[in-house]
Amino acid sequence: MGKEWFTEAKFGLFIHFGLYSILGRREWVMHYERIPVSKYRRLMEKFNPRKGAVDEWCSLAKEAGMKYVVLTTRHHDGFSLFDTKVSDFNAVNSAAGRDIIAEYVDACRRYGLKVGFYYSLLDWRWEAYWDGPEKNKEKWDEFVNYVHSQVIELMSNYGKIDILWYDGGWPYSAEDWRSEELNRKVRELQPDILINNRSGLPEDFDTPEQYVPKEKPERPWETCMTINDSWGYCRGDNNYKTVKQLILTLVDIVRKGGNFLLNIGPKADGSVPYPLVERLHAMGKWLSINGESIYGTKVGTVTGSWHLGYITQKDEKVYVHVTKWPGREITIPGISGEIVDAYFLSNREPVKAKTENGFLYISDLPDEPLDPYDTVIALEFSSVPERVEIGFKETLLK
Residues forming contacts to ligand GLC in the complex (CB under 6 A) are 16, 27-28, 167, 209, 224, 231
**Which is nearest to 107 in space by CA: 177, 166, 57, 165?**
57
The nearer residue to ligand GLC, 217 or 358, going by C-beta atoms, is 217
The nearer residue to ligand GLC, 142 or 209, going by C-beta atoms, is 209
The nearer residue to ligand GLC, 27 or 162, going by C-beta atoms, is 27
Q: Count Cβ neighbours within 10 Å for each residue of 134-146 and write b for 16 or more, e otherwise.
A: eeeeebbeebbeb
DSSP labels, 342-363:
EEETTT--B-EEEEETTEEEEE
The DSSP secondary-structure symbol of 205 reads B
The strand pairing partners of 332, in sequence order, are 360
Amino acid identity at 248:
L
The CB-of-91 to ligand GLC minimum distance in angstroms stands at: 18
The nearer residue to ligand GLC, 224 or 351, going by C-beta atoms, is 224
The CB-of-119 to ligand GLC minimum distance in angstroms stands at: 11
Q: Where are the beta strands (DSSP E) in the chain?
A: 11-15, 68-74, 114-120, 163-167, 194-195, 222-226, 259-264, 304-306, 309-314, 317-322, 328-333, 335-336, 339-344, 352-356, 359-365, 375-381, 386-387
The CB-of-69 to ligand GLC minimum distance in angstroms stands at: 14
The CB-of-299 to ligand GLC minimum distance in angstroms stands at: 24
Q: Are strands 309-314 and 317-322 parallel, antiparallel or unpaired?
A: antiparallel
> 351 — alpha (psi -120 to 50), left (phi > 0) or beta?
beta
The CB-of-129 to ligand GLC minimum distance in angstroms stands at: 14
Amino acid identity at 309:
G
The nearer residue to ligand GLC, 33 or 209, going by C-beta atoms, is 209
The nearer residue to ligand GLC, 202 or 391, going by C-beta atoms, is 202
**Which is nearest to 25 in space by CA: 14, 39, 36, 35?**
35
Per the CB < 8 A criterion, the answer to whether 187 and 177 are in contact is no
The nearer residue to ligand GLC, 26 or 67, going by C-beta atoms, is 26
The nearer residue to ligand GLC, 27 or 123, going by C-beta atoms, is 27
The CB-of-229 to ligand GLC minimum distance in angstroms stands at: 12
Give the span between the Cα atoms of 25 and 276, in whole angstroms. Answer: 17
277: phi then psi, degrees, rounded to nearest 5: -60, -50
